[in-house]
Structures are given as C-alpha cells and as structure tokens.
Amino acid sequence: GIMAMPGLPPAGTRLREGPGAPGGVQTGTTIMAATYDGGVILGADSRTSSGTYIANRTADKITQLSDRIYICRSGSAADTQAISAYVQHYLNQHKMETGEDVDVEAGANIVMQMAYGNKDRLSAGMIVAGWDMHEGGSVWAVPMGGTLLRQPVTAGGSGSIYISGWIDKFWKPGMTKEECKAFVVKAISLAMSRDGSSGGCIRIITINKEGSTKEFLPGNQVPLHHDELKQPAAESTAMEVA
Amino acid sequence: MSGVGSGYDLAATTFSPDGRLFQLEYAGKAVDSAGTVVGLRCKDGVVLGVEKVIRSKLLVKGSNRHVHSVDTGMGIAVAGVLPDGRYMVNRAISEAANYKSFYGQPMLGHVMCDRLSQFMHLFSLYGGVRPMGTTVFLAAYDRNGPQLYQIEPSGISQRYFGCASGKGRQQARTEIEKLDLKELTCAQAVKEIARIMYTIHDETKDKPFELEMSWVSDDTGRKHVRVPEEVVSAAVEEAKRAIEEADMSD
C-alpha cells in the first residue's frame, strides 16, 4: 500500500464511500438468486445510482459468465464489470482445458479468488448462480470481502436487508419454476418499494438443463405493496407473473 | 566416438537432417535401461507397480520411493532417471494444488496429463536444458472414471488400459496383452503385476529388486495410496509359487 503522506488520505482509506455517496457509480441494488426443483432463478432491479442521480434506470445487473452460469452484481459497477470480464475469460479457457461445461462451483470459486485477493481495492457484492450436470442448480454468494458461501437462496445489495426476514419465512425447497419465479419477483418488488437505491424494472433469468432464459418485467408491471397509484398499462412483451 | 546422431545430437533444440531429435531419443534410452514399471487400468481403479533394483544391502526396505501421490485421487510412478521424475512429481503436486485453489475442484486426470505433457515438452524447446529422462505413469480416478496415462520425455502422452516401460517392457507388454483388463479388479491386478514382475526377472542375470505398488480404486475411496505391505507380500509369495510350479511342470 501507499504510506501515509501529507495531503493524502490516511493509508487504507477507501477513496469511495459507501453506497449512495457521490464519487462513483454504484449499483445500490436488490439482487437475488433462488434454487428450485430443476434449476435456479436469478433476479435483479434495474437502478444504477450516482449519489441521488439515477444514472441508468434500466440497467442489466445480471451478467453471463458462461452458458449456464450467471452473476448478479452489486456495489461498484466498475469493479463488478471488471471482475465479470476476467471471470468470463478464465471460464472460457477452463472450458477449453477440461473439454466440459464449467461447473457453477468453479465459476463461483474464481469470483471469490478475485474478490478476496483484491479485497482492499474492491467494492463488490455478487451472487453466482447456474446449472451444471454434476450438482444441478446451485447458488453461491460472494459478499464483500470475498467469502464464498453456497446457499439455497440468497439476496444481496442495499435492498436485500428489507427482505431477509420475508425470504426466510416464505422460501421453500422444491418449488416449481413458476412458483420460484413469482417468489423472486415478489421479493424484489418488496425491496424496491422500501429501498431508495433500488427501483425501475425487474430482470429475471431462469437457468436449467435446457439452457438459460432472460425475462423482463417493466416498471409499470412491478407488483405494488403500499397503496401506490397503479400506472396505466402499456403494451409490452413482458413476462407473465403469477 | 561418432554415432548415428553425430553433430545433431548435442542439443535438444537441434533437428537432424532426417528429422529426428536425438536428445529425446537418448532420453528414451535412459528410460529403457532402467527398472521396469507397469500400470494397469482395471474395472474399479488403477494399479501401478515399479521394479526397484536394490543397489545396496544397506538400504532400508521401503525407502527410495518411486511412486508418489500428487493429489488425493492421483498418483505418479517414475520410470527412468529418478531425480528427473521427482521434479515432475513436484510440478504435478504444484499444478494440482493451484488448480484446486483457483477452481475449487480437484484437477481432472486428463487435464493433469496435458499439463505434464506440456511441461515435459518445454525441455525440448530451449538450449541449456536437457529433456527429462523419465516416462511418467499417471494414475487418476475422477468423475470420468479410472484413467492411466503415460507421458514420455518428448511430451507425447497417451491414455492406456495397460502399459509398461523399462528393461522388461517387451515381456511385460506381452503379459499385459493376455489379461482381460475390462473385467480385472484392482485386487487381481496387484497379483498379476507381481507375477509379471517376477516372471520377467531373471534370477541369475538381474540384480535383486523390491516391488513397490500403489493403487487408486473404489475400495480405497478413490484415494491414491500405497498398496499395503501385507497385500504386496502375499502377491509376491503367490507369484513366486506360481512360477515355481510352472517351472516344475515343464
């Protein structure tokens, strides 16, 4: 590290402050991933904020790492995009070397190595999820600091704190794809209704043996929870929500 | 003394006019004149056996290991120049550990084979180094089943049901071909290897040897370990008896 010098902030100080502070594009966010019987569902809101300015209200926070492995990104957009690019590269090489599709566990492990190895320089909370033929669907949380923890369901980002209890109460194993999708949509919409840094639309990815499917729920169709005025419906090619 | 490769055999980086790399061929000769090594891939695992020529009566039995574990489910038997083989083993251990650290999963057998092949090959690309004087026998048992690979000094590698190298390789291969490797179990293979080793060993001409064996199988929980001393001794006894009986009935 750089030694303390007059004029510089003390050694070890982060130049960027926490989510929502000026000086850095953040994905103050709600992201989550859940396993169901046969695969996983990933979900995210679409708000990218830079202080109080919403830099992008239709952001895509779920990035593909390989055929059946995706990553949900929260924290610094720059950091998570850089990590994603590295991991895509390593996974591509790994696939060539093994001659097989990459296991989700391996993808998650590489993300962890990058997060932990650069822990004093990064601000990145991520969730890796996907399907492989050895474990089926799996979800791996890589929160800030570089822990790696496999969980059946997990949420991240600034909005996740508002729905932790709700997820604990209402998630159950062995849901169908449609049940799980509805569960994720509802969870994210609940977080969006309370967290100022989360909002916009909901993006959903379904990953299973057949492959991966991306879906989109426009902002005016996100479930409402607090007597908000319902927006007029507009024609859309959005997903059906149970 | 001028031999076949005169002038073109001084460096591994030099081709001869007829397209041969003499240093690699000489490395092969180092392997061919060393103790016999046999590997068998069986229905339920892989067994490796090494003929360790006893150089001195003062050696502690079981010392001077020729077979090493490089990962939980992978092992290497060294044929040829032992220090070169040790270098390969250490490289393999390092590769397996780094892979596990980075990918969170144990290295697959065929990936280790490729890594070791590429490593061996390096030594024929640069002046100032010589090729390894060993053939590496790699035994692995991963989610793709049991595998046996042989990696030569040139870097060529192949996957085998059964293979042999060293002084007695021709005879050993003849014996191996008689076996039904698709049905053979590791427990049986231990006895077969003992029998092969003692059959090809000439009591009158060859120095005494110690048989070192290892295996990785369903019974070992897919872990690469030494074959227990009692099992090896029993197999050796049985082999000696079988050979005596065969001699008597001639």
Chain A interface mutation, best of B99, B100, B105, highest count of A Cβ atoms under 10 Å: B105
Q: Are strands B37-41 and B162-165 parallel, antiparallel or unpaired?
A: antiparallel
- Which residues, 6 or more positions from B170, have their beta carbon under 8 angstroms from its beta carbon? none
Per-residue tokens: A101: 């599709």
Quote the mean pLDDT of chain B.
Answer: 94
DSSP state of A29: -
Q: How confident is the model at residue A18 (pLDDT cuts 50, 70, 90)?
A: very low
User: Is it the case that residue A60 has pLDDT exceeding 80?
Assistant: yes
Check if the beta carbon of residue B92 is closer than 8 Å to that of residue B125: no
Q: Which residues of B touch A (CB under 8 A)?
A: 101-105, 108, 110-111, 114, 143
Distance of CA B135 to the CA centre of its chain: 7
Classify burial at A13, counting beta carbons within 10 Å of its beta carbon; exposed 0-12, middle 13-18, buried 19 or more: exposed
For residue range B29-75, list pLDDT tens digits in order.
Answer: 999 999 999 999 999 999 999 999 998 889 998 888 999 999 999 99
What residues in B contact A134, CB-CB < 8 Å?
Answer: 143
User: Is it the case that residue A2 has pLDDT exceeding 80?
Assistant: no
Minimal C-alpha gap between B63 and chain A (Å):
36
Check if the beta carbon of residue A198 is closer than 8 Å to that of residue A68: no
For residue range B207-241, list pLDDT tens digits in order.
Answer: 899 999 999 999 999 999 999 999 999 999 999 99
Measured over the CA atoms of residue B112, residue B117, residue B118 and residue B122, the dihedral's sign is: positive
pTM of the full structure: 0.88
For residue range A80-110, list pLDDT tens digits in order.
Answer: 999 999 999 999 999 999 999 999 999 999 9
Coil, strand or helix at B34: coil
For residue range B92-132, list pLDDT tens digits in order.
Answer: 999 999 999 999 999 999 999 999 999 999 999 988 899 99
ipTM of the complex in this document: 0.85
Chain A interface mutation, best of B103, B113, B116, highest count of A Cβ atoms under 10 Å: B103
